[in-house]
Amino acid sequence: MLLQMVYSYLLIKVKPMEDKNTDLKLVKVGTVRKYMDAHFRDEISYTEAVNRINQQANKNMKAKLTFDLPEEQEEFEMAINGHKWRNVAFMMFNFFRNKTKYAPEGTHEEYLKAMYECKDELFRIISDNGVDLEV
């Protein structure tokens, strides 16, 4: 079943509607086949086929998480509070950044070194876990 699901999608390079940069998106193989077949039957132009594929790729995807409560209460809490932990990491990163960037004149060198080390370690942990702090 999983193998069928993986093979039913293509990773294609598309041009997002509101941006000129290209991006990689998942599109159902059937969608690509549908519009390209219409092109080969001379029902639509190649450009129109590509535009329709791009429109499908740029549609918002939805995801639904399901938990068996109360057995999976802990997993549920982690899922719904993830944004809070992201904010904690973001605030800590900015705390260390501000302590080093705006340190008053005459701040002890060992203090600054410790703040830089903390900031770097936090950034390493964030990066290692694939978390993006961009707002």
Residue 21 or residue 72, greater confidence: 72
Please report the pLDDT score of residue 71 as a whole number.
Answer: 94
Query: Quick count: other Cβ atoms within 10 Å of Cβ 32?
Result: 19
**pLDDT, tens digit, 9 for 90 and up, residues 88-97:** 888 998 899 8
Please tell me the pTM assigned to this model.
0.50
How many CA atoms, within 13 angstroms, populate the side-chain half-sphere of residue 91? Answer: 6
Q: The tokens of 105 are what?
A: 């004149």
For 35-72, the pLDDT digits (tens) are 888 888 888 888 888 888 878 777 766 778 889 999 99
The token duo for 97 is 């950044």
- In 3D, which of 56, 72, 76, 48 has the Cα closest to residue 16? 56
| Distance (Å, whole) CA 113 – CA 115 | 5
Distance of CA 42 to the CA centre of its chain: 38
What single-letter DSSP state applies at residue 11?
A: E
For residue 119, count other CB atoms closer than 10 A to its CB: 20
Strand-pair partners of 10: 27
